């Protein structure tokens, strides 16, 4: 088993396909396939399931991944020390968060991190899909539910207040009624979220005119005068054409949690990013 074969394995694990792995490493796709086959033969294990959607790590592949990443970190550390760049980290980190949180909360922190560690490539996936940390689909995940997987190290990062917003030119509705008002709310799949239920309770006679699972879409609709929306304060307060409504009580806020796989707890680049995220956003 050679380190170069493990680098091929890491590239495939991180990109999910031979083609993407080949592009990221500057090798041809057939070469990547041959090197992976040689590694699997040397280990006597199948490291990936070949599916129509790409390569998925097997349990044996997951075990190899943890060791390969530790080896990669040691190699990079030695290279930095020998070249006098011991303060610079390198490699890739894959993050997952909701769309609005990534765009409005994480992006400024990631921009700062890019200045501090320009050799670390941060890939941010913004989706309603829950990427699995135990399956190593992401290195660090931000979400509104606590983590309960035994392989995951997590902490509550911050509490986010929510507010009720309306275009500045429109008339505010009467709390407890809402007749004549239009609502912009979550789609039916997320209709049970606390802020969506609260909005319907506070304005029971208002008419729902738009549903979306995308907070930025809701904010844009609200800013264009389509109706009232409950939005996270970091998103809603940044809108120039809306005002914050007082309906007698504030909508329920949400806690945001951050988690990462326990095998990465000593990875220098993940620790550096996590420390910055906590310093800038932690409460």
* 173 — pLDDT class (breaks 50, 70, 90): very high
Based on the fold, state whether residues 139 and 197 are members of the same structural domain.
no
Residue 175 and residue 47 share a domain: no
Residue 1 has pLDDT above 70, yes or no: no
Q: Report how many domains make up the chain.
A: 3
- Per residue in 91-120, pLDDT (tens digit) is 889 999 999 999 999 999 999 999 999 999
pLDDT band at 66 (very low <50, low <70, confident <90, very high): confident
User: In CATH, what number is assigned to the domain containing residue 273?
Assistant: 3.40.190.10
> What pLDDT, in 10s, does the model give residues 115-143?
999 999 999 999 767 778 877 788 999 99
pLDDT at position 264 = 85
Q: Last residue of some domain: 82, 103, 134?
A: 82
Note down the domain range covering 208: 162-252
Q: Do 60 and 47 contact (CB within 8 A), yes or no?
A: yes
> pTM for the whole thing?
0.72
At residue 81, the pLDDT reads 63
Beta strands in 58-100 (DSSP E): 91-97
Q: Exposure pattern of 66-105 as b/e (b: 16+ CB <10 Å)?
A: eebbeebbeebeeebeeeeeeeebbbebbbbbbebbbbbb
217-236 residue pLDDT tens: 999 999 999 999 999 999 99
Task: Say yes or no: 218 and 166 in one domain.
Answer: yes
User: Alpha carbon 33 to chain centroid distance?
Assistant: 30
For the chain, give the mean pLDDT. 89
Instruction: Tell me, yes or no, whether 200 and 263 share the same domain.
Output: no
- 132 with 78, same domain: the answer is no
């Amino acid at each position: 088993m050679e380190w170069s074969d493990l680098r091929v394995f890491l590239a495939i694990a991180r990109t999910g396909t031979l083609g993407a792995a080949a592009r990221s490493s500057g090798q041809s796709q057939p070469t990547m396939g041959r090197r992976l086959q040689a590694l699997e033969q040397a280990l006597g294990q199948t490291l990936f399931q070949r599916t129509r959607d790409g390569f998925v790590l097997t349990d044996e592949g997951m075990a190899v991944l943890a060791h390969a990443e530790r080896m990669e970190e040691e190699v990079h550390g030695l290279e930095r020390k020998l070249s006098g760049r011991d303060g610079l980290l390198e490699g890739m980190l894959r993050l997952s968060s909701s769309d609005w949180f990534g765009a409005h909360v994480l992006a400024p922190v990631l921009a700062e991190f890019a200045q501090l560690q320009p050799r670390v490539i941060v890939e941010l996936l913004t989706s309603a899909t829950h990427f699995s940390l135990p399956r190593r689909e992401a290195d660090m995940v931000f979400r509104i539910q606590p983590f309960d997987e035994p392989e995951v190290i997590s902490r509550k990062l911050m509490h986010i207040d929510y507010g009720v917003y309306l275009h500045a030119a429109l008339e505010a509705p009467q709390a407890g009624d809402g007749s004549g008002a239009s609502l912009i709310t979550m789609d039916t799949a997320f209709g049970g979220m606390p802020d969506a239920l609260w909005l319907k309770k506070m304005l029971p006679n208002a008419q729902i005119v738009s549903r979306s699972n995308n907070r930025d879409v809701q904010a844009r609709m609200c800013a264009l005068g389509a109706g009232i929306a409950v939005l996270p304060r970091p998103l809603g307060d940044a809108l120039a054409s809306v005002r914050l409504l007082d309906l007698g009580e504030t909508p329920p806020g949400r806690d945001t949690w951050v988690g990462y796989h326990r095998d990465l707890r000593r990875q220098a680049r993940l620790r550096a990013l996590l420390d910055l995220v906590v310093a800038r956003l932690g409460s």
